[in-house]
């Protein structure tokens, strides 16, 4: 692939698509050439997202597979679940790379997908064809891939928080509890009662209890890390802020360990990783610290009284949980420096 990579974003009018555009416009080795949004055909991207004024002069177009491939070397699909599966087969060839940010190709089992997403999968033959794009775990496979499925936001936080425990077989795998909280942007740009300001402001609520579609994705990837089947108890919550995820994971330790022991294990596991940072003993992640960045903060504490380890992870759901991680994958696939275009520090205050 040429040193300057032509990039297309299919579904560029949603929050994730807009975040992809914002980040890519700061990338020295790419040219953003093609953005689609059927609903906003011929409308300037900057008219929908004024932060792009004077920076991006592109207009949205209606998706056409031939035009998409003619104008792009690598394509991001920032489309709703159920839509990507219809488009990916039109784009797959030896000359183009694809990064899908939907959940359509994360699961390898058609039955599981249809149970949790509630729709039929129209291209089940492609399930398992995409590399799961969590760079800290699958970097080697991503580097060789032409088709990557970007992880979900909740799974990103939970997998990064538990990978050292699972790979070292330090915890009981039948009693993992995940309590996660997300900002309202995770619901997308579409209008809904649950994200209506009077409904979500000054309010915290659980939703999709024991039924969230990210659950099987977490279980599938955690099982790979552990080498055995894992089922978790997962409860997400909506909190009244725009961005950020804070996941707290409770695990039963197999043997007596202290907080410094596990911090050392985590530090070694993520040594050299540009975006995962292990906090010091007694420090715990805050969503404010990673706001607007591709960074992930992890803190933990051993409760000796109950022999549990409590792991806390914070990410920006739109960046490390979506667009930033997709660009991280792009950098790996294209041979760019992994942190290119992603060196922004979190916005504090």
pLDDT at 188 over 90: no
* Residue 196 and residue 124 in one domain: no
180 SS3 class: strand
* Residue 40 and residue 165 in one domain: no
* Residue 46 and residue 130 in one domain: yes
339 assigned to some structural domain: no
Q: Looking at beta carbons, which pairs linking 65-70 to residues 24 or more positions away fall under 8 Å? A: 65/90, 65/91, 67/34, 68/8, 68/10, 68/34, 68/36, 69/93, 69/95, 69/96
Residues 15-44: b if buried by 16+ CB within 10 A, e if exposed: bbbbbbbbbbeebebbbbbbbbbeebeeee
- Contact (CB, 8 A) for 80 and 56: no
* Residue 69 and residue 127 in one domain: yes
* Residue 36 and residue 113 in one domain: yes
* Residue 163 and residue 306 in one domain: yes
For residue 37, the domain's CATH number is 3.40.50.720
* Residue 240 and residue 94 in one domain: no
Q: What is the pTM of this model?
A: 0.96
* Residue 116 and residue 263 in one domain: no
pLDDT > 90 fraction of the chain, expressed in percent and rounded = 93
- 60-78, pLDDT tens digit by residue? 999 999 999 999 999 999 9
43 assigned to some structural domain: yes
- Residues 320 and 121: their CA atoms lie apart, in Å, by 27
Tokens representing 259 are 């907080």
200 is catalytic: no
Q: Given the residues 5, 149, 153, 313, select the one marked as catalytic.
A: 153
343 assigned to some structural domain: no
Domain around 160: 154-315
- 266-288, pLDDT tens digit by residue? 999 999 999 999 999 999 999 99
- Residues 143 and 146: their CA atoms lie apart, in Å, by 9
**Structural domain count of the chain:** 2
């Amino acid at each position: 692939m040429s040193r300057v990579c032509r990039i297309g974003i299919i579904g560029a009018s949603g929050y994730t698509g807009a975040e992809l555009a914002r980040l890519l416009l700061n990338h020295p080795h790419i040219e953003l050439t093609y953005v689609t949004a059927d609903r906003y055909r011929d409308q300037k991207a900057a008219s929908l997202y004024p932060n792009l004024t004077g920076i991006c002069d592109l207009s949205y177009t209606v998706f056409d597979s031939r035009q998409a491939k003619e104008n792009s070397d690598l394509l991001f699909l920032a489309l709703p679940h159920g839509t990507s599966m219809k488009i990916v087969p039109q784009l797959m060839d030896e000359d183009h790379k694809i990064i899908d940010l939907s959940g359509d190709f994360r699961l390898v089992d058609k039955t599981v997908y249809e149970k949790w997403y509630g729709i039929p999968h129209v291209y089940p033959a492609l399930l398992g064809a995409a590399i799961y794009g969590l760079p800290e775990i699958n970097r080697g496979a991503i580097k060789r891939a032409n088709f990557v499925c970007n992880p979900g936001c909740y799974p990103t936080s939970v997998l990064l928080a538990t990978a050292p425990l699972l790979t070292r077989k330090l915890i009981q795998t039948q009693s993992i509890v995940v309590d996660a909280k997300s900002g309202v942007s995770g619901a997308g740009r579409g209008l809904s009662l649950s994200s209506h300001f009077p409904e979500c402001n000054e309010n915290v609520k659980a939703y999709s209890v024991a039924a969230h579609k990210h659950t099987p994705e977490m279980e599938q990837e955690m099982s790979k890390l552990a080498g055995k089947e894992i089922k978790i108890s997962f409860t997400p919550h909506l909190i009244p802020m725009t961005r950020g995820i804070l996941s707290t994971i409770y695990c039963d330790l197999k043997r007596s360990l202290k907080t410094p022991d596990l911090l050392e294990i985590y530090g070694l596991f993520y040594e050299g990783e540009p975006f995962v940072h292990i906090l010091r003993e007694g420090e715990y992640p805050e969503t404010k610290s990673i706001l607007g960045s591709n960074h992930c903060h992890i803190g933990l504490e051993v409760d000796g009284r109950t022999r549990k380890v409590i792991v806390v992870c914070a990410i920006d759901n739109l960046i490390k949980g979506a667009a930033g991680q997709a660009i991280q994958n792009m950098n790996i696939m294209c041979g760019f420096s992994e942190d290119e275009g992603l060196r922004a520090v979190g916005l504090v205050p």
